[in-house]
Amino acid sequence: MKVAVVGVTGMVGQVMLKVLTEMGLPVTTLIPVASLKSKGSKIQFNGAEYSVVEMHEALKENPDIAIFSAGGSVSLEWAPKFAEQGTYVIDNSSAWRMDPSKKLIVPEVNGQTLTKSDTIIPNPNCSTIQLVLVLKPLHDKYRVKRVVMSTYQSITGTGVKAVKQMNNERVGIESDMAYSYPIDKNCIPQCDVFLENDYTKEEMKLTNETKKILDPTINVSATAVRVPIVGGHSEAVNVEFEHEFKLEELREVLSAMPGIVVMDDPSKQVYPMPIHAEGKNEVFVGRIRRDESQPRTVNLWIVTDNLRKGAATNAVQIAKIIATFI
């Protein structure tokens, strides 16, 4: 297959190349795509060297699959152009996620709903992906009513500029700011812009995308926080069910879900952290305990590498499904 990676020079694009190799997608020709300033630079992939091209050139190549990680405005302009000529587009931006004509896909959760006619497929928000992967088996078993959560999100979710800001702050160098405040030795309770309801766009993504992927009756209230780490996103999640549960059974339900690893042994201080989730494709769950303040409610701690399962891995898993249509 011919596969275009749009935004190949960015943080997600670079991880995308690694995941494409690791997951064995049958890529015969890679089309690395970036902005004009990166045109002509070299990319190594599967032992071969490729030259970066810009969008017009990539469109002429007529790839079988194009994976976009270049922002919403790029996707809105170019995804339809690729789709019109028969290319399947997997988009990592938020541009198409809430379009009622587009399916929002986490392969382990609803990948079976994809069909040949789904030519533009949005990748959910990174924080949503790890949340719904955990909620899916619990919703099937106990019916989720309400989720109250706080996220602890890696600066890699913002991009290279944020990583440079933190690293420069740590050695006392003034540089361009990705955030309005210092991030080193700090937590910023703002991911993305504020909306009219005083929630951030990121927080409302968690609400709206969870409803779209799982069930519109699930209520989600989120607080998203940026923290000075690079390994992945963490979430403290409080889940209220319609039906009663037993903790051991709940752990077994989670353990049986593809893509989930349960790490939960408080007596040995075993719980997931970004430092060990980095570079891995799984979603890790720990600190599983009953909420003693109200019935039928559990507390969970969910961690994953946001550049992998939160972006690249999920996109490549979608591509593997699409490959069966081609």
Task: Tell me the DSSP string of 105-125.
Answer: --HHHHGGG--TT--EEEPPP
Q: In terms of Cα–Cα distance, which of 74, 6, 55, 14 is closest to 279?
A: 14
Q: How far apart are CA 13 and CA 9, in angstroms?
A: 6
Q: How far apart are CA 91 and CA 287, in angstroms?
A: 33
* Amino acid at position 77, single letter: E
Q: How far apart are CA 80 and CA 165, in angstroms?
A: 35
Verify whether residue 191 is a known catalytic residue: no
Options 56, 126, 139, 187, the catalytic residue: 126
Residues in the chain: 326
Q: In terms of Cα–Cα distance, which of 283, 149, 164, 302 is closest to 230?
A: 164
* Amino acid at position 11, single letter: M
Hey, which residues does 171 pair with through a beta bridge? Answer: none
* Amino acid at position 275, single letter: I
Are residues 200 and 224 in contact, defined by beta-carbon separation less than 8 angstroms? yes
Q: In terms of Cα–Cα distance, which of 193, 182, 126 is closest to 157?
A: 126
Q: Given CA atoms 179, 180, 184, 186 in this order, what sign does their dihedral have?
A: negative
Verify whether residue 126 is a known catalytic residue: yes
Q: How far apart are CA 85 and CA 65, in angstroms?
A: 11
Options 56, 187, 191, 233, the catalytic residue: 233
- Which residue is listed with tokens 């961690």? 303
Sheet holding 29-33, edge to edge: 29-33, 2-6, 65-68, 88-91, 120-122
Q: If you compute the radius of gyration of the chain from its CA atoms, what whole number of angstroms results?
A: 20
* Active site residue ranges: 126, 233
